[in-house]
Amino acid sequence: MHDIRAIRENPAAFDAALARRGLDAMSPSILALDAERRAKIQAAEAAQSEQKKAAKDVGAAKAAGNDAEFERLRALVGEKKTETAQMQTDAKELDQKLTDLLMGIPNLPFEDTPIGKDEDDNVETHRWGTPVTLDFAAKEHYELDGVAHGMDFEMGAKLSGTRFVVLSGAVARIHRALAQFMLDTHVDQNGLTEMWTPVLVREDMMLGTGQLPKFGEDSYQTTNGWWLVPTAEVSLTNTVNGETIDESSLPRRMVAHTQCFRSEAGSAGRDTSGMLRQHQFEKVEMVSITKPDESRAELDRMTACAQGILESLNLPYRTVALCTGDMGFGAQRTHDIEVWLPGQNTYREISSVSVCGDFQARRMNARFKPTGGGKPEFVHTLNGSGLAVGRCLIAVLENGQQADGSVALPEALHGYLGGKTTLTASGTLA
């Protein structure tokens, strides 16, 4: 959420930043509503002051035996009490209107975030590895002989409907090994603290990280009001919701492996084949809570953590800086990491790492207490996939595919698979 004081102080800068996202100026409507709200608050305070003064004068009139003045003042007290209550109600409604308006406005991009309308305007910043050259026609992951035995979309549809899958045998084990490898790498090499968090959260947690109110249709809600997390970003970031923590505890760097759930309401007809876009999937998610002056550098550090997983698995990738038109609602700058998929002959997103500044912290009221004293300040938050497990499975299978239908598995996974190095064409590990 945005700081109304900052908008008051420099509305032109606020509108200029929105323009970089392709949005019209909003400061005039925001400031008009804010002025109306503040005027109503001041009027309520003035009426309350008059009510208190009249209440004092009532006692004096009674003591003086002035019955006429006593009755007049008593009536005035009642009148001011009613007036004050109504004005306070009006002010509260206007305050909620302003909050709702600010909650629906996306974050302001950094100056170094590329300006553009859509993914065609994203800017490549880094590339690693050389896409594999095959002497046979590359297949997509679900077409591989060795995969067909352990990736059952028909069973997934029978159990749950479209965009669900049942993994079994060797494929399920490789999927699990990937998640374990990611967690171990982030904990042992990257210094993140492993967490285990709920996948059902309260509505105010979804509000805190910006999934609500604008994007509710993209997530699932239970009949008793809980929400299924679209990513562990929600639960990890909200660990500081409503807290004022010590500066000495920052940065906080966390990682969690969870199930994730997305309705994909706005993605009908896209990537429906295979495991690329599922309603239920797994992710290893990274979240950092930092001081304001450290968040930009933390974005680069987290990006490197995600890239390192792909390099360890010997999977070619490229990193792009998302343009303002393609960037998420809560981000100031986002780095997407795209892994090479031979079956599609293209790079596809496998991680998205974003810095949100104090945007989420304001929604959560999450602050830190400076070590040297002074007023508490809002923390900065960052989140990123490290990585999407299912998409990483796709990349491992497609990049390791052999002419006979088997898959050569990355060396980094061998220890997690009991020393096995290959997914055979018959669907076993060897």
What are 218's two structure tokens?
Answer: 């993209």
> Using an 8 Å Cβ cutoff, are 423 and 429 in contact?
yes
Is residue 352 marked as binding?
A: yes
Task: Give Cβ neighbours of residue 205 (< 8 Å, ≥ 6 apart).
Answer: 227, 234, 235, 238, 241
CA-only gyration radius of the chain, Å: 28
Label residue 235 exposed, middle or buried (CB < 10 Å: 0-12, 13-18, 19+): buried
Tokens 């004005």 appear where?
87
Closest CA to 313 of 404, 232, 426, 407: 407
Is residue 160 marked as binding?
A: no
Q: Which string of b and e fits 168-193 if b means at least 16 CB within 10 Å?
A: eebbebbbbbbbebbbebbeeebebe
What are 397's two structure tokens?
Answer: 């299978």
DSSP-derived 3-state class of residue 235: helix
Is residue 219 marked as binding?
A: no
Is residue 66 marked as binding?
A: no
DSSP-derived 3-state class of residue 411: helix
CA-CA distances (angstroms) from residue 143 to 35, 140, 349, 397, 398?
62, 5, 20, 10, 10
Task: Give Cβ neighbours of residue 212 (< 8 Å, ≥ 6 apart).
Answer: 203, 206, 227
Is residue 354 marked as binding?
A: no
Is residue 312 marked as binding?
A: no
> Using an 8 Å Cβ cutoff, are 126 and 319 in contact?
yes
Is residue 247 marked as binding?
A: no
Is residue 232 marked as binding?
A: yes
Tokens 């982030």 appear where?
186
Specify which residues 244 forms β-bridges with: 367
Is residue 168 marked as binding?
A: no
Is residue 264 marked as binding?
A: yes
The Cα 300–Cα 35 span in angstroms is 40
Classify 212 in phi/psi space as left (phi over 0), alpha (psi -120 to 50) or beta.
beta
DSSP string, 393-404: HHHHHHHTB-TT
Closest CA to 164 of 272, 280, 283: 280
Q: 10 Å Cβ neighbour count for 123?
A: 12
Is residue 64 marked as binding?
A: no
What single-letter DSSP state applies at residue 365?
A: T
Give the residue numbers of the binding site.
231-233, 262-264, 285, 349-352, 383, 385
Give the residue numbers of the binding site for L-serine.
231-233, 262, 285, 383, 385
Give the residue numbers of the binding site for ATP.
262-264, 349-352
